[in-house]
A and B are shown apart, each in its own frame.
Chain A
Amino acid sequence: MTYKLPDKVIREINVKYECFFGREDTDGWDVRQAMNDLVGFDSVPEPRIIVAALHACRRLNDYALSVRFLEMVKHKCGHEVDKIYPYIVQEVGSTVAELGTDFPETLGYDKPELFLQSVFSM
């Protein structure tokens, strides 16, 4: 039986992260720390949090960070990419178009582009 946090706690966590990304005084360090925390949760980030994070990237003038964040969201979908990712694209697509970021598919990064030898086999 899987353990699920109570709904109230989940809502509090979502509100906390959404507010954090909405803050005007956080710098790149804090935003990356919050994004790394989001990766640690056993869930795909809510579309509201994704939208807030993309706005934070825009405020920090960091384009690559937003693309990396969207790649992370797709990776967090795990085995059920086909079910969850289209929903995310649908919810977040308007913000992505408005801000000028791209989903990784647009840049061609959904398939590997370069081959680099792994550092563990050098």
Chain B
Amino acid sequence: MGFISNRSKYWLERVGNREMVGYGLNGLPMYVDKPEFPFPALRYKEPTAEIHSLYEKQKGNWKLLTREEKKALYRSNYCQTFAEFTAPTGEWMKVVGIGLIMCCFGVWLFILQKLFVYKQELPISFKPSRVRAQMRRIIDLQVDPIMGLCSNWDYEKNDWKVKRWNTPPNPFIRCPDDDE
């Protein structure tokens, strides 16, 4: 708003009777409660006769103001206290909830895909004897011999170099179902 002055009709419609007391957030005559700019450009409420009398009273000794008058002075200058506008809103629950609902939607897609898209009967190459045969072929071809799969296979021993929780069993051992 660099080309509309602060006293233009646009702003005066919005400001009304309220006194412009400071630069505020960005120089515009707006009231905003922000912890980064706690002193806004306007007083919050429009002045009434009671507020004017309070303003006169605050020119004297502040100890003569009662607690209610002090609170009224604060509320006429400011909309919310620091505690009110920095209070937690609980919006995180809404965000987490919507995120989890999206995850559920994805899981539902997975379930429906397994039920209606894939055939219930797996192809023949999933049988354990066939898997072992494929493993034997991979080892014979020396796939990934430097850093990958066959670098972990010991060709002297005909077994894996190190057996961990995730190494498959030795595919060269003969099993009863190997002739299917």
**Contacting pair A114 B70 (CB below 8 A):** no
Nearest-CB distance from A97 to chain B (Å)?
9
Closest partner residue, chain A, to B71 (CB atom): A107
Whether B38 pairs with A61 at a CB distance below 8 angstroms is no
Q: Which residues of B contact A90 (CB under 8 A)?
A: none
Q: Does A51 contact B (CB under 8 A)?
A: no
Binds A, one of B9-17, B76-84, B107-115, B142-150: B76-84
Q: Which of B58-66, B152-160, B172-180 contacts A (4 or more CB under 8 A)?
A: B58-66
CA–CA, A68 to B21, complex, Å? 14
B22's contact among A33, A100, A108, by CB below 8 Å, is which?
A33
Tell whether, in the assembled complex, residue A33 and residue B58 are in contact, meaning their CB atoms are under 8 Å apart: no
By CB atoms of chain A within 10 A, which of B24, B62, B67, B87 has the most? B62
Contact partners of A32 in chain B: CB under 8 A: 21-24, 39
Please measure, in the bound complex, the distance between the C-alpha atom of A64 and the C-alpha atom of B35, giving whole angstroms: 16
Residues of B within 8 A of A (CB): 21-24, 35-39, 55, 58-59, 61-63, 65, 67, 70-71, 73-74, 76-84, 86-87, 89
